[in-house]
Amino acid sequence: MRRKLTWFVIISAGIAIAGLHQAGRLLATPANSGFKATTLASGTFGEIDVFNQSSNKDLPAGSDANVWLSLQKTKGQSDLYVQSNVWQAGGSTGWHTHPGHSLIIVTSGTLTEYEGADCERHIYTFVPGQPAPTLVDGGGDHVHIIKNEGSVAASSIAVQLVPHDPNKANRRIDAPAPANCADIL
């Protein structure tokens, strides 16, 4: 009897975990019709192991840094994507993350990013003739949403490095709205 009870508990736990996993996927907030992502280019790299360093004497005139470092190391293959993203007024990426980091340049309009950890709001406005606003999405467990809360279209270019996926299906991972940010969609 004890053996049957043990198996019943194990199977029930497995069913519960699978159900919770599927429920999380059902509660994910995919992008709305006001957002369009277009892949401009993509490629697959082998392992990356680069390190750069510049000291003050090597940096451009006017730099306020004493040293500039750049590190990038991957194990196994990686996929690199160059994305063009366009938000119509009211457009939203939906809550999501990426398995790797993204470097983003806002090229027109105003974008608002909300971070899932604390619902912190960041506003990025492109102003012609001034340096373009930039942001870094660390990926991994960094869940966020980017919205166009303005009245005109907004756009960005993103460069994303993610673990290689032969099916090219892991660049973006939809996520449910964090409980503390449930009113932001």
62 in any annotated domain: no
- Quick one: pLDDT at residue 69? 84
- Quick one: pLDDT at residue 24? 39
Angle at 168 between CA 25 and CA 179, to 5 degrees: 25
CA distances from 19 to 9, 16, 49, 182 (A): 15, 5, 40, 21
Tokens of 176: 């449910």
Residue listed under structure tokens 């306020």: 64
Burial of 13: CB neighbours in 10 Å, binned 0-12, 13-18, 19+ = exposed
Angle at 39 between CA 38 and CA 45, to 5 degrees: 165
- Quick one: pLDDT at residue 61? 78
8 in any annotated domain: no
Q: Do the beta carbons of residue 83 and residue 126 sit within 8 Å?
A: no
Residue 171, helix vs strand vs coil: coil
6 in any annotated domain: no
The total domain count for the chain is: 1
162 in any annotated domain: yes
Per-residue pLDDT averaged across 19-30, rounded?
50
Look up the CATH number of the domain holding residue 97.
Answer: 2.60.120.10
pLDDT of 140 strictly over 60: yes
Question: Range of 170's domain?
Answer: 31-46+78-181
Whole-number percent of the chain with pLDDT over 70: 85
25 in any annotated domain: no
169 in any annotated domain: yes
41 in any annotated domain: yes
pLDDT of 3 strictly over 60: no
Tokens of 122: 């960041």
Q: Do the beta carbons of residue 44 and residue 76 sit within 8 Å?
A: no
68 in any annotated domain: no
Q: Which residues contact 119 (CB under 8 A, 6 or more apart)?
A: 178, 180, 181, 184
- Quick one: pLDDT at residue 65? 76
Confidence at 16, pLDDT banded by 50, 70, 90: very low
Q: What is the pLDDT of residues 151-181, one digit of tens each?
A: 999 999 999 999 999 999 999 999 999 999 9
Angle at 185 between CA 147 and CA 173, to 5 degrees: 80
pLDDT of 7 strictly over 80: no
